[in-house]
Chains A and B, each alone.
Chain A
Amino acid sequence: MNTEIRSAAQFRGPLVLEAVSISRNFKLGRGRKGQVLSAVRDVSFGLYRRGVVALVGESGSGKSTVARLLAGQDHLTSGEVRLDGNVVHLRHRRTFRNYKHEVQMVFQDPFASLNSVHTVRYHLERPVRIQRGTKGRAAIAEQVAKLLSEVELTPPEQFLAKYPHELSGGQRQRVAIARSIAANPRVLLADEPISMLDVSIRLDILSLLNDLRERLDLAMLYITHDIASARYVADETLVMYAGDIVERGPSEEVTQDPAHPYTQLLVASAPDPDALDSGLRIGSKVLAGQAGSALSSVVGCRFSPRCPFADDHCRQEVPPAVRISDQRAASCWHLDRAAPHILSSGPSTGPAASAEVSPNAG
């Protein structure tokens, strides 16, 4: 029990959806020459009622694939997804539809996720009829209006007959959110819900999501490439690099005192107005290099080509998740050099005692 990492989100409520060592491989090319891309490799985490877990990573790190796997849009290569402790099988249309009742997605681009030939009313009536099984015009109209006011599009009558192109980006994303909560889900998977929006609108959408989470008791996965927004939104932050989760822990700790060299790079790269006259001015060199490769031909730590601490050991063997505290872990062979103060101050007994741990929330 002592070796388990507990999620910082689990204090919010009971476990709802759980990913247990999920992996997804894609074959590239044909025949024997074809390589295998392991877009998601052995990823485990839990989503808790009223809790928010953030998944942070660069483009191509596999974070959207995780969302698609959890939403049942894609097939697992290995591992399993559990809803309320029961393994989810999505072979049949009916089970898939039932699963959709519980788990809904919000997509990145509200321009693409809404159908431009249909009105707002159409977008919301369908899930109300199909997922909620509401019958009768008056009842449907009432629920649609309630959904719109739920996402603060008021007065609802003003928006019902509008087409997506008549709405601003923020309003469109609100409609998309209304549609996803129309099924009365318990889990919301938000895949970069604000990255296509204007800076001034982002905050409104984030606080709307936060508000809905509390009012509707949602468990939320918040996927982003912006680690600063994870700090504000999420209880627990998972950092993903080339298909692996390289660090996990309470958001404030991960962002303020990152342990893994990649998290350190991410945090150092975020624009920091307080550091005027530093950084760019001196031409500080951050680690150059390509985005992480998730090809299965890469052995060892996938961050090692860009890592300042990498040695032969890193290039040959995949590092295990090293326990830092009972809520934090990072996958690195050289945490003693990358983040010496964290290891020494942590409640764990140091790197020597840090065995490979099951990163499952208990």
Chain B
Amino acid sequence: MSSSSPPAILADNLSKTYDRVPAVDALSFRVETGSVVGLLGGNGAGKTTTLAMIMGLTTPTAGSVRVFGADMARERGKVLHRINFESPYADLPHRLTVRQNLSVFGKLYGVQRLKARIEEIAEALDLAQFLDRRTGQLSAGQKTRAALAKALINEPDLLLLDEPTASLDPDTADWVRSHLEEFRRRRGATILLASHNMGEVERLCDRVIIMRTGRIVHNEPPDALIARYGRETLEEVFLDVARGRGAGARVETAQAIP
């Protein structure tokens, strides 16, 4: 990657207000290409709104967000084929089989040799025996893997994940994390991960952005954050931040763009 390449994500003074209530307030951060960044925060912190603005599904009230240099409010068509996402707010059509869903999305993303790609990704995600089953008939873990298969069908350069392992049993969740690690290692892809699972974030992320009431409170590597708070785990740090105590209680806007 040349040094002149734009970052995978560049948010500049990004704000969103609903009925005069700020959901996201002057957010500025960058996510370098090839990194895995965790987006953390309590319920209502603004994570999903931030993700929706990055995806171009929600128009910012102020500021801008660029993905691979493209302004997502005006130029999202230039980069959408390089992005994919998984979110609990979106399902795959339940009446279609897994294979049919992957076929439709593969064609939307312009994937060549699609049949082989579907077989390949089904094999990798342990979905081969479920390919011809209706998506609505799958278990929660199988549905998550099917959603992940859709999110990876185009081998995205940027993968946006909103709670990818929520509602999964520990074994399946661990399996999904391993697959994400393998995907990142193999493709050098950028991943932005919104999660409440601090163990997952510690394991996967190079950097964490912690949000509270729509603002960035911290933006640094998990190890540095844990050390600065004098804690053992990111979960303990998260609790300190959520309860407004400890080393990072102040809003560190200066750290917004490291």
A binds B: no
Please give the residue numbers on chain B whose beta carbons come within 8 Å of chain A beta carbons, in ascending order. none
